[in-house]
Amino acid sequence: MVEPTRFGFNEEAFETNSFQNRPAISELKEIQENALTEFNAFVEQLKKYGVNILLFRDSIDSTTPDSIFPNNWFSTHASGDLITYPMAVSNRRKERRTDIMEKLIKRNGYFCTDYSHHEWSSIYLEGTGSMIFDHSRSCVYAALSPRTHETLLNEVAAKLDFEPIAFKAYGKSGELIYHTNVMMCIGRTFIAIGLDTIDKEDLPHVHEALRNSRKDIIPLTNDQVYNHFAGNMLQIENQKGESILVLSKTAHDSLTEEQRSRFRMHNKYILPVAIPTIERIGGGSARCMLAEVFLPEY
């Protein structure tokens, strides 16, 4: 997790992220303070549940208002791979930090592969924002968009020996949903997904992949996806190996009792966190703030 020092509205990111909301001039001075309060409370809640957190802080003179969302620029894998990615939004590219990579490599012995050079060709793939991995089935789902290009998806999937499952999904104004993780979450034994956002022509092969997963498929409504960040959840483990479903309070409050009951069946704990400023201004939610660290299995 990356503690923000200059969190704010990212004008450049707003071009493709319809989940952002432009703040009023009167609240500009309070945005960083409120975001930091929400971030620190989130960290404390994770610690109470026994989650091991690698915490970094953005630089004091930061020019990266979205650094609080580190999952877009790198991912780690049980194969021992650490992968860095090309970012569509140019002012987000400074979020890639060698000190974070060096610490992860020193701790866990990852092999690093850097795909960021694809930025020169305007080909983008924004980490686990763009890709949702089903680790148990060795497949990866991706909603294609200006930030998620199929050519690079296929390249990364081949490197990791995963099957790519690409599709188109649409936002509330008919735009391509910019990141897959706003409409889909995969846990060990369940998949939550906004099926009604998916292009009708792509639905058959997505349905086939979901059936092959043999997991409990929990549908999310378009309202839950578009207006409440319900797809932006992440199942994590604490130091006891217990599963925790992390989501925002906004997302949790939008769920029906049936949905909550099904999520409880697949998780030891449900952890809703209050991050309204981060969601409204940054256009990202709880999952975006967490970059998983998978220990190599070799």
Render each residue's pLDDT in the chain as its tens digit; 298 residues. 999 998 876 666 667 766 757 777 767 679 999 999 999 999 999 999 999 999 999 988 888 889 999 999 999 999 999 999 999 999 999 999 999 999 999 999 999 999 999 999 999 999 999 999 999 999 999 999 999 999 999 999 999 999 999 999 999 999 999 999 999 999 999 999 999 999 999 999 999 999 999 999 999 999 999 999 999 999 999 999 999 999 999 999 999 999 999 999 999 999 999 999 999 998 899 999 999 999 998 7
Looking at residue 12, its pLDDT comes to 67
The CATH number assigned to the domain holding 73 equals 3.75.10.10
Measuring CA to CA, which residue among 279, 297, 294, 234 is closest to residue 7? 279
178 within domain boundaries: yes
Count of domains observed in the chain: 1
CA angle 56/183/38 to nearest 5° reads 35
* Single pTM value for the model: 0.94
Q: Identify whether 187 is part of a domain.
A: yes
Residue 297 lies in a domain: no
Q: How many angstroms separate the CA atoms of 297 and 188, rounded? A: 17
Residue 224 lies in a domain: yes
- CA–CA distance, 160 with 156 (Å, rounded to integer): 6
- Residue 212 belongs to domain spanning: 2-289
Query: Is residue 160 situated within a structural domain?
Result: yes
Establish if 298 belongs to a structural domain: no
Residue 295 lies in a domain: no
Rounded CA separation 153/200 (Å): 21
Pairing of strands 243-248, 234-237: antiparallel
- Cα torsion 102, 278, 4, 246 to 10°: value is -40
CA 24 to chain centre: 27
Q: What DSSP assignment string belongs to 173-198?
A: TSPBPS-GGGTEEE-SSEEEE-GGGB
Is residue 264 domain-resident?
A: yes
